[in-house]
Amino acid sequence: MPELPEVETIKNDLSAEILHKKILFIELRLKKIVKNDPSFFKKVLIGAKFRALERCGKLMIFSLGNGQFLLIHLKMTGQLIFRNKKQVIAGGHSDTVFNFDLPNKYSHLVFVFEDKSKLFFNDLRQFGYARIVDKNQLEQIKQRFGMDPLDSRFTLKYFRNLLKKRTGNLKAFLLNQSIIAGLGNIYADEILFEAKILPMRKVTNLTIGEISLLHKSIRKIIMKAIKYRGTTFNTYVDSAGRRGDFLKFLRVYKKEKKLCQRCAHVIKKIKVAGRGTRFCEYCQK
DNA sequence: CTTCTTGTTACTGA
DNA sequence: ATCAGTAACAAGAA
């Protein structure tokens, strides 16, 4: 599942490949993946160039420099894969960097650039989307997102204030994109394990020490996951089709029935806030 | 065959 | 206003 670290990795890598290249052609293979009228979508993009790439939570924002912006959300199984002219010509076989043919049956949208390089938007479950918005719509959408954990304004003081306004459980709090933007099921569970706090705890009865540790853990886990280029469980790959390396650092996500690396008790899995939630009932308090 | 998975939105009722 | 719970979306894994 692309969460903040995965989207950040794709954003950074793609920025080095696609900026300032003219878009020659748009191949829309599955209409529902685009949330605009298809002819409007193509009209805005063809002939335009991506001027900047940014990330808001798990949402990618491609600035077109003409007052319009392309939004792409990968949801659970979306991929954005870039291939240069040489790779496009070679197909999927001859290059060790990537190991599958494109387009494949999950390639719903393809951007063709003037240098014959291509950007493929793949999505197995078709939950992801692409959408063109103008500046006003973009500002409205951005307002719905909470603080980015990497933002310098995400201080302990700020975090303590966020918690004060809430009453629910911690898992739901961490997953709520309008409070903190970018955390999903994998990193929420990993953060709570790191902070040694149970996911079903109410945000109202955390001690000062727990709040401080939780704040530290959010930044620590997210920064480490970015360093290792995200977590590949099923479909996630970066823009070159490579896997993320954070899988080997997971300590609770998909570790149910295995032994806790900290205390050797069995990792449990239950439903919290409607989501599969993994934790150690012994060393998380 | 059924159940589960997951990000987000929409809807219900409390 | 906020929260908990659930359905919806889709397709594959178990």
Final residue before a domain boundary, out of A82, A112, A142: A142
Q: Are residues A172 and A122 in the same domain?
A: no
Q: Are residues A163 and A130 in the same domain?
A: no
Is the model's pLDDT at A98 over the cut of 80? no
Q: By residue range, what is the domain housing residue A54?
A: 4-142
Please state at what angle helix A4-18 crosses helix A208-227, rounded to 10 degrees: 40
Final residue before a domain boundary, out of A142, A172, A197: A142
In a domain, A150, yes or no: no
**Is A149 tagged catalytic?**
no
> CA(A272)–C1'(C3) in Å?
13
* Confidence band, pLDDT 50/70/90 cuts, at residue A94: very low
The whole-angstrom separation of Cα A222 and Cα A227 is 9
In a domain, A59, yes or no: yes
**Environment class of A176 (CB within 10 Å of its CB; exposed 0-12, middle 13-18, buried 19+):** middle
pLDDT of residue A99: 62
Q: Are residues A164 and A119 in the same domain?
A: no
pLDDT of residue A262: 93
Q: Which of A128, A150, A258, A250 is nearest to A194 (CA)?
A: A250
Q: pLDDT (tens digit, 9 = 90+) per residue, A249-270?
A: 999 988 888 999 999 999 998 8
Number of domains in chain A: 2
Q: Are residues A138 and A75 in the same domain?
A: yes
Query: Strand B: which nucleotides have any atom within 7 A of a protein Cβ?
Result: 4-9
Final residue before a domain boundary, out of A117, A142, A167: A142
Q: pLDDT (tens digit, 9 = 90+) per residue, A35-74?
A: 999 999 999 999 999 999 999 999 999 999 889 999 999 9
- Establish whether the CB of A204 is closer than 7 Å to any nucleic acid atom in strand C: no
Q: Are residues A63 and A182 in the same domain?
A: no
| Annotated catalytic residue within A42, A49, A55, A58 | A58
Q: Are residues A137 and A160 in the same domain?
A: no
pLDDT of residue A97: 44
> Which nucleotide lies at the shortest CA–C1' distance from A73?
B7
The whole-angstrom separation of Cα A196 and Cα A34 is 42
In a domain, A160, yes or no: yes
Is the model's pLDDT at A186 over the cut of 60? yes
pLDDT of residue A70: 95
Q: What is the mean pLDDT of residues A170-185?
A: 92
A285 compared with A91, residue with greater pLDDT: A285
Q: What is the mean pLDDT of residues A118-137?
A: 92
Q: Are residues A116 and A229 in the same domain?
A: no
In a domain, A34, yes or no: yes
pLDDT of residue A237: 87
Is the model's pLDDT at A9 over the cut of 60? yes
CA angle A234, A235, A240 (to 5 degrees): 130
The whole-angstrom separation of Cα A40 and Cα A98 is 33
The whole-angstrom separation of Cα A192 and Cα A36 is 39
Domain harbouring A177, CATH code: 1.10.8.50
Q: What is the mean pLDDT of residues A241-250?
A: 89
> What mean pLDDT is reported for chain A?
91
